[in-house]
Structure 1
Amino acid sequence: MGILNWRLNGRRRASPHSSRELEALAQEICRLSPRLRLLPRYAQRLAPHLGTALDYVRTLIAGIPAPREASPQAWATDPYVHACFGTPHDVQLIFSRSADLQQFFETSPDATEAFAVLGMDMTEKRTLGVGLEGDVMRTDVLQTIVNFSDHQVRLCGRDKPALCRQIEGRMLDQLALQGLASAAAGGVGRDRRLQEMALLGKRLRFLEGEGEGVGMRAMLGGAAAPDPDEQARLRAQLAEGDANARTASVSKDSVNALESQLLSLQTTFSDAKSYFFIERRHIRLSRMNVVTGEDSMSPSDALEFTTASIPGDPPATRTFLLVRIPRAVMLTRMRLLEEAERYL
């Protein structure tokens, strides 16, 4: 599980949120920068700002379209599945290759299906193709073709509410990472404060490099694989820095650096919509993924795709769908090996 394993048990409460819920979230967030716990009343000071972010995040999640069945059979009938995958077999193969999905079914033997987030790169290409211009069929018509690639499934749950709770956690993760990154980038002062911010910068690079359970990149994929040697060096440096921090006295400069981190988190959570958002894009596609107009005579479907703009260095944009995967779709590990051998 990730470092921020957001477990919000019980039914969701109407705003205003309970202080217990928000302070528990604040304590989880401070695992990203553990020395924030040295500040007096850190959780209480962060809680009201978290309430604002939580309302915003839940509004975003409520607007995400309902899960779609992801199966080879759905490829023929569901225009979304057809648009995102080249063949029915691609549907089965991509989901079967997800280690997180495989692990979910292995650890949930009674589950007949899983709910998951499918992250993808969505690109457009202008090209010449066959099309009607008036009543004349031409072979040099300028067309826009939409392509979906780099399919990744990392986040899954037993049902939609469980999946949405995980999505909520990843969105809050992302806001926390952004707030701490802003503090690290703006770190100035004497040696002690610079050391505090340098340690924070290393921690953030480590967390984002791990890519497991932290932020939207961990949910939607798309990040480059972390360098194992670099991650090992960062892990060792963090361990040394944390050990030194536990034995050192808390100087005034250190307190100032931690206060800067807390202030940056407060600012980010209070204005969450300026730091993270998702967009809906309406597009009409033919069965060959060619963009068509409303007045086109070619058979096409009006689709709506959800895209997340992820801040960071570098920033990223990923299109995603909520999907429901029947257990019967999943290939066994032996079948996956046989599929891999076919390409050798």
Structure 2
Amino acid sequence: MGLIDWLFSSSDKNTGDPQIQAGIERLIQIVDPRLKALSDAPAQLAPAVATALDFCRSTVAALPGPLDASAGNWRTTPLLRALFTRADEVQQIFSRQAVVQEFVEQHPEVQTFYAILGAVLQEKKGFGVALTGDALQHDVAVTTLNFTHHQLHLPCSTPEALDQELVWALFDQLGREILTRLSAIKEGQADLQEEIALLRTQQAHLEHQGIGDIFCDESGAPVDTSEALAAQIKSHQAPLGESRQRLPTLDDTLTWIATTLQTPQQLVEVKSLDYRVNSLNQRVPPDQPGEDLHFSHFSFTAPHPRRGVILRVSYPTAELLPKSTLTQEIERLYS
């Protein structure tokens, strides 16, 4: 069985699987190391971790690429032409990546590296020229694809190693998404408790002063402010009670994590985007001349909202600009 077959196999979902064990350990370390104290944590988390790893493997397998991003392939590869305006732009962006420079320094024997390329996709609407039949039509509404903030991640020496690294990177992201949601629940509890304490302080002050019956509403009828505050406290206690019921103990936290991880597609949104564009990166109908593009689009919320397209690329290390050239360029830009 090859590395890819092993990586994407999903038949074994018991806690004895080294992959499941590794996933459980990574998840606990990311979300809450105290879960290690629970003896039944591995058994509870194993099915959810297996489901999450299956999701990560299938997601990675569906990514475009690896695309050969070398200079000679830019002109003949529609996806690269859509992402980069010029062939030398690929060289400049790839050469400036700190993770790439570090990888090349640590692995001087590698002639081609594989990495994940991420970019932010913007669909800019405006007016331009469109071909209608054999005639050019002016002032037509057009949508142009624009890609910015190119970043390379996880440089590796083989495509199989890259897939493996990305599976775990995506799995770790699921853990961070769970941690963010768990923190929000706990913060919500704290906010409710603080609000209730404040209302109780106000209620006690009013009752002590004896002024709860001197206020009137718009009709002139007296309003018992103390009773109004009591009603507010009661309204806050209900959601606080519900929140406490959800996560009252570490055991219940474990159950919540296992349940939440069973639906990983609700933690990280992955969409397939298909476009047909002309030479100007403008969207065109299927019956118009153009190139078909396929992207995988990701949306994350932890540690802060991010979104963009991701694909696998390969690049020859010989085409990277030397550090001396990059240093001269930086000095020229900031002189």
Give 1:151 shift.
0.2
Is the alpha carbon distance of 1:48 and 1:335 closer, same or farther for their aligned partners in structure 2, counting shifts above 3 Å? Answer: same
Find the counterpart in structure 2 of residue 286 from structure 1. 278
Find the counterpart in structure 1 of residue 24 from structure 2. 26
Find the counterpart in structure 1 of residue 267 from structure 2. 275
Q: Does the 8 Å CA contact 1:187/1:257 hold for their aligned counterparts?
A: no
TM-score normalized by the length of structure 2: 0.75
Is the alpha carbon distance of 1:55 and 1:340 closer, same or farther for their aligned partners in structure 2, counting shifts above 3 Å? Answer: same
**Alignment partner for residue 321 of structure 2, among 328, 331, 335?**
331
Identity of aligned residues (%): 30
Q: Does the 8 Å CA contact 1:66/1:322 hold for their aligned counterparts?
A: yes
Structure 2 residue runs of 5 or longer lacking an equivalent are: 194-246
Is the alpha carbon distance of 1:262 and 1:130 closer, same or farther for their aligned partners in structure 2, counting shifts above 3 Å? Answer: same
**1:265 and 2:261 aligned:** no
Q: Find the aligned partners of 1:15 and 1:314 in 2 and give their Cα distance.
A: 34
Q: Find the aligned partners of 2:179 and 2:141 in 1 and give their Cα distance.
A: 46
Partner SS state of residue 187, structure 1: helix
Partner SS state of residue 76, structure 1: coil
Find the counterpart in structure 2 of residue 113 from structure 1. 112
Q: Does the 8 Å CA contact 1:183/1:260 hold for their aligned counterparts?
A: no
Q: What amino acid is the match of 1:308?
A: F
Give 1:273 shift.
1.9
Q: Find the aligned partners of 1:327 and 1:338 in 2 and give their Cα distance.
A: 20
Q: What amino acid is the match of 1:19?
A: T
Find the counterpart in structure 2 of residue 311 from structure 1. 301
Q: Does the 8 Å CA contact 2:154/2:165 hold for their aligned counterparts?
A: yes
Give 1:314 shift.
4.4
Is the alpha carbon distance of 1:23 and 1:143 closer, same or farther for their aligned partners in structure 2, counting shifts above 3 Å? Answer: same
Q: Deviations over 1:22-44 (max 9, x none)?
A: 12321222222222212223223
Bigger Cα displacement from structure 2, 48-57 vs 145-154: 48-57
**Structure 1 segments (4+ residues) deviating >6 Å:** 188-191
TM-score normalized by the length of structure 1: 0.73
Give 1:92 shift.
0.2
Q: What amino acid is the match of 1:277?
A: E
Partner SS state of residue 292, structure 1: coil
Find the counterpart in structure 2 of residue 36 from structure 1. 35
* Bigger CA radius of gyration: 2
Partner SS state of residue 30, structure 1: helix
Q: Does the 8 Å CA contact 1:175/1:268 hold for their aligned counterparts?
A: no
Find the counterpart in structure 2 of residue 130 from structure 1. 129
Q: Find the aligned partners of 1:286 and 1:261 in 2 and give their Cα distance.
A: 51
Bigger Cα displacement from structure 2, 111-120 vs 285-294: 285-294
Structure 1 residue runs of 5 or longer lacking an equivalent are: 1-7, 195-254
Partner SS state of residue 308, structure 2: strand
Q: Find the aligned partners of 1:101 and 1:265 in 2 and give their Cα distance.
A: 35
Q: Does the 8 Å CA contact 2:99/2:155 hold for their aligned counterparts?
A: yes
Q: Find the aligned partners of 2:98 and 2:302 in 1 and give their Cα distance.
A: 25
**Alignment partner for residue 321 of structure 1, among 311, 322, 328?**
311
Partner SS state of residue 309, structure 1: strand
Q: Does the 8 Å CA contact 1:46/1:266 hold for their aligned counterparts?
A: yes
**Alignment partner for residue 16 of structure 1, among 5, 12, 18?**
12
Q: Find the aligned partners of 1:147 and 1:327 in 2 and give their Cα distance.
A: 27
Q: What amino acid is the match of 1:285?
A: V
Is the alpha carbon distance of 1:112 and 1:187 closer, same or farther for their aligned partners in structure 2, counting shifts above 3 Å? Answer: same
